[in-house]
Amino acid sequence: MDPTDIDAVLVAGATGGTGREVLRRVGRRVDTVRALTRSAGATADLRAAGADEVAVDDLLDPSDLAAAVEGVDAVISAVGSTSSTVRSGPPFVDGAGNRALVEAAVDAGVDALVMESAIVVGPEPSSPLASAFDAFIGPLQEAKGEAEAALRDAPIRHTVLRPGILTNGRRTGLVTTAEPGARLWGTVSRADVAWLMAAAPTTGGAADRTFEVVSTPRFPDRGVDVNWTLPR
């Protein structure tokens, strides 16, 4: 997609840390930013954070996702569960929720979908430290893997970002994006991940690809060269 082709974006998981950062990144670059939340009480807060419109629906029990995705050019999914959710068991929004969102986006003819996943998701080799992290939230990682697979199988342009441990703080711009299996490990700020998610739909080199993402440490010798371009 050309950077000027995006007029409307849906941000799912908009109340979370990464989702709010995405709202900030796209709010001044596209005509309409629609936030998706399961809580009607979050509407005013999301509008204050940069959303022009707010759609209320629960991805684990959707009533009208068709309306949420109607008329948007791209969907950016930053939905995710906290580690404590593992104890309650499936379904997880990371898996079933994302799959529902993919299906709705395809049915609506959305051009692109960007999904936030996590490092170590998927069958590719990983670093020992990253694998240790995976041991704590294995069920969530499995759910994310199922959602990734559904997205790759769907007839829609996609980008999957697998960040390391997420931190708060400002965007650094010092990020390594690598192919799956690069054995990255470390941390990355939500602001850095959100910037990449906002740019993915309009970055040619990000189409139909999956990236591991960390900033500390950087692993410059393992990164791929992609000319990330934000909508305008």
pLDDT in tens, 115-142: 999 998 988 888 887 777 677 778 888 9
Please, are residues 105 and 75 in contact by the beta-carbon 8 Å criterion? yes
Confidence at residue 188, expressed as pLDDT on a 0 to 100 scale: 97
Segment 204-223, tens digit of pLDDT: 999 999 999 999 998 989 99
Q: What is the pLDDT of residue 222?
A: 95
| Residue 3 pLDDT grade (very low, low, confident, very high; cuts 50, 70, 90) | low
pLDDT tens string 170-184:
999 999 999 999 999
In this structure, are strands 112-116 and 74-77 parallel, antiparallel, or unpaired?
Answer: parallel
Q: How far is residue 119's CA from residue 200's CA, in Å, rounded to a whole number?
A: 18
- Residues facing 159 on adjacent strands: 114, 209
Of the candidates 212, 209, 206, 159, the residue with the CA atom closest to the CA atom of residue 185: 212
Q: Residue 216 has what DSSP assignment?
A: B
Please choose, from the candidates 72, 29, 27, 18, the residue with its C-alpha nearest in 3D space to the C-alpha of residue 49.
27
pLDDT of residue 80: 87
